[in-house]
Amino acid sequence: MDPLNRDTFFHKDNELFTTVDGVLTPVKTLIGSSEKPIYIYSKSCIEKRINAYKLAFKEKAAHIHYAVKANSNLEVLKFIKSLGVGADVVSIGEFNRALEAGFKASEIIFSGVGKTKLEIKEALTKGCRQLNCESLSEFRRIGELSKALKIKAYVGVRINPDITVETHPYIATGFRENKFGVPLKQISELVELAKSFKESVEWVGLSCHIGSQIMTTDPLVLASQALVNTAKDLKSYGIEIKSLDVGGGLGVDYQDDDESKDLKSIQAFGEKVCHVLKDFSGEVCLEPGRSIVARSGLLLARVEYVKTNGFKNFIVLNTGMHHLMRPSLYQAYHKIVPIDFNSARKLETFDVVGPICESSDVLGHDRSFYRPHEEEWVAILDAGAYGMSMASAYNHHEFPGEILM
């Protein structure tokens, strides 16, 4: 186990530090007298990644719509809004959360595969920028509701291009077996449906999101090409597509401490996609989430017990799968480091576990640790995305605190 050496969080003189408003700050000072776990998020880390997206897609002057599902903390949303981006939401709850954070309805794209009638009505009434439709049935529902409300609906159709990606099957969304999007073979049917609702629905865009935690740009480029090809096909039907939404999905290497690689991946993604879209004259949108906020976050947790059962060693924390579900749900990896780094202690192998009454409540298997003392604190890294936003009240444990630095 080596000291952490990253841009955002790092060990200095055997203590975990970060930078707050340009001032070197020990992470332990952010804990204060707290007895419960705490999520902390770094503004500078978030801003750096949003700026990287702006630079990578400057050729197409792309509209960035942050995927609220990744982290919906109100202060985080307010900060992201202040950086001049829009929002992408998948429920009316997220829609209203974005409004509360200061986003205008005209800056919000409403995605999601299962929108209810009430959600669609509210989004239309409040002036949503675009409803991303995922099926023929949903298009019909939007058409009927917009006609009844006498409100024009601006719709983007999410296509399913049948592209396989190397990611966890739970977060792959662009293969023919997935529930998401309209299969390309149904586009002609959708055209006929759109014609029947031409007075109440304007089909303005196409979108494509093939999955999350995608580590290579190749499938994302293929998906963008599928958008371009579909837009050309629709033109032959008399439908002029004004906007292409290339989705998000760019991954983060949770095992690599070199944060600069994230920025290089964003740049490569932008350059390749802009090349594919070079002849498209309309607007370009994208919906990054994880790649903006994942690295910004730590989940700080206290060691409650250090346990040995004669077969295995355990570090038992006051946080677990109820606060950070990813390891249990996706077998995801998060690096875990001590707040105080003490290499004078014995180096041993531990499972890092939580208090939940489930054997799946493991945050890290077989981790090397200099044996911690009970009531010391550790930091679970890269927890800014899909951490607190997926947290639950299972076993009626208290939710963690949250701090935006």
Residues with catalytic function: 357
- Please give the distance of CA 186 from its chain centroid, rounded to a whole number: 29
Do strands 283-286 and 243-245 pair parallel, antiparallel, or not at all (unpaired)? Answer: parallel
Question: Within 10 Å of residue 160's Cβ, how many Cβ atoms?
Answer: 26
Specify the residue for token string 């003490």. Answer: 342
Strands 108-110 and 401-404 turn out to be unpaired
Alpha-carbon 260 to chain mean position: 19
Tell how far CA 387 is from the center of its chain.
10
Contact between residue 227 and residue 208 where contact means Cβ atoms under 8 Å apart: yes
Taking CA 397 as the corner, what is the angle to CA 360 and CA 399, rounded to the nearest 5 degrees? 100
Residue 229 and residue 19 in contact, taking contact as beta carbons nearer than 8 Å: no
Distances (CA, A) of 117 to 152, 155, 265, 279: 16, 15, 39, 37
Question: Which amino acid appears at position 95 of this protein?
Answer: F
Q: What distance in Å separates the CA atoms of residue 18 and residue 24, rounded to the nearest whole number?
A: 6
Output phi, psi for 318, to 5 deg: -90, 15
Residues 232, 206: contact at Cβ < 8 Å? no
CA distances from 50 to 43, 44, 386, 388 (A): 11, 10, 18, 21
Q: Are strands 297-308 and 283-286 parallel, antiparallel or unpaired?
A: unpaired
Q: How many whole angstroms separate alpha carbon 351 and alpha carbon 128?
A: 46
The token pair that represents 124 in the structure block = 């239309």
Spatial CA neighbour of 294 closest among 341, 251, 260, 337:
251
Number of H helices, E strands in the chain: 11, 20
